[in-house]
Amino acid sequence: MDQTKLSLVIDGVQIPGILAKPQHPVASLLLIPGSLNSDVDGNYAPMFPGQPGANPHAYRDLALQLAAQGIAVLRFAKTGPGTGSIVVDQQSAGKFKVFSQRVRVAEVFLAELRRQVPAVPSIIAGHSEGAVVATLLTQAHKEIRGIVMLSGPSQPLLHMMAKGQFESDRRAGRVTPDVARNYAAAVRLLDDFAASRPLPEDYAGNPFAAMLSFAVKPENAPYLRSLEAIDPAVEFAKIPQPALIVQGERDASVPRECAEELHRMKPDATVQLFPELQHFYKRVPDGLSPEVSFAQDSESEPSVAGTIASWIRALLDGKK
């Protein structure tokens, strides 16, 4: 197996990638990263002063595990500090302020993957927020043979965060009529944010809408608003190609319910749940805090790659 480093300049930003290529690949797979400042291996630089980084290296693990099973994998970094990406044209790089640019970047890397690994079927896999990118990319490219949703959300990001907080309160028995009213009001606030409607001055007083204080900042609003305007489950239902939904049941970032909702929207999709795995497919005990779970740096569970490889082989054999 060869690992080839790539560097593509896309709209004023130089973005690193790595192609893991077996000697005789049976398929190629584009691995699209999730949110936050991810480098090419899936490690995360701090986004704020004092915030710790995390090194789950999930994209490296998955790429190498899949390549060992005959599938060429191209993974690439996000943009931002600590990712290895370099701004070479500040004016052109302004395009990265909106979510649609993520689809544009993935499309360029897909073209490079097809150039580097021609004459084999192409699969798209997106992790977390990257699953939304993968969904939109697959819609636009009918030649893509299938899509893998790795811990993909079924709701817009901020709505999912608010619902997760509410569900946590519900499981803990803390839901009162006032709490329920606050949550309903927060959903309306998030809808207003996504639609660029004005927010009331007291929006920050709603505990389920606290993330809006970050989202409304001028440097954050264009990206988050454009992301929040997309309903991932609705878009996923539009995909005619076969789909595999992969979900760890101890995922503290994207809950199992998202996989279930995606499956309801596309009943012909295959679903594979992993009871003991977290967001980066590390085996963890139950009850870890989201922060501790996120920071795990053990090897990602090889059975996830095994499941994906088996699904791809069945797809190529006409069994999907």
pTM to 2 decimals?
A: 0.96
Mean pLDDT for the stretch of residues 192-205: 94
Distance, in Å, from the CA atom of 318 to the CA atom of 320, rounded to the nearest integer, reads 6
pLDDT at 320: 65
Q: Is the pLDDT of residue 46 over 90?
A: no
Closest by CA position to 315, among listed 2, 59, 71, 62: 71
Please work out, in degrees rounded to the nearest 5, the angle formed at the alpha carbon of residue 197 by the alpha carbons of 196 and 202. 120
Share of the chain above pLDDT 70, in %: 99
Distance, in Å, from the CA atom of 273 to the CA atom of 256, rounded to the nearest integer, reads 8
Q: Is the pLDDT of residue 52 over 80?
A: no
pLDDT at 289: 87
Mean pLDDT for the stretch of residues 149-157: 97
Q: In a 10 Å sphere around its CB, with 0-12 CB exposed, 13-18 middle and 19+ buried, how is residue 201 labelled?
A: exposed
**Which phi and psi (to 5°) does residue 116 adopt?**
-75, -30
Share of the chain above pLDDT 90, in %: 91
The answer to whether residues 271 and 247 touch, using CB atoms and an 8 Å cutoff, is yes
Locate all alpha helices (DSSP H) within the chain, ordered by sequence.
58-67, 100-116, 129-140, 157-171, 177-194, 212-215, 221-228, 232-237, 256-265, 290-294, 302-316
In which residue are the tokens 């084999």 written?
120
pLDDT at 116: 97
Instruction: Return the SS3 of 17.
Output: strand
Counts for the chain of helices (H) and strands (E), in that order = 11, 9
Tokens of 215: 């989202």
Closest by CA position to 57, among listed 280, 258, 251: 280
pLDDT digits (tens, 9 = 90+) for 89-140: 999 999 999 999 999 999 999 999 999 999 999 999 999 999 999 999 999 9
Q: Please, what are the domains in the chain? A: 2-155+231-316 (3.40.50.1820), 158-223 (no CATH)
**C-alpha R_g of the chain:** 19
Q: Is the pLDDT of residue 5 over 70?
A: yes
The answer to whether residues 112 and 6 touch, using CB atoms and an 8 Å cutoff, is yes
Distance, in Å, from the CA atom of 246 to the CA atom of 243, rounded to the nearest integer, reads 10
pLDDT digits (tens, 9 = 90+) for 60-96: 999 999 999 999 999 999 999 899 999 999 999 999 9
Torsion sign, CA atoms 96, 102, 103, 109 = positive
pLDDT digits (tens, 9 = 90+) for 211-254: 999 999 999 999 999 999 999 999 999 999 999 999 999 999 99
- Give the mean pLDDT of the chain: 95
Higher pLDDT residue, 272 or 47? 272
Q: Identify the DSSP state of 197.
A: P
Distance, in Å, from the CA atom of 257 to the CA atom of 260, rounded to the nearest integer, reads 5
Q: How confident is the model at residue 51 (pLDDT cuts 50, 70, 90)?
A: confident
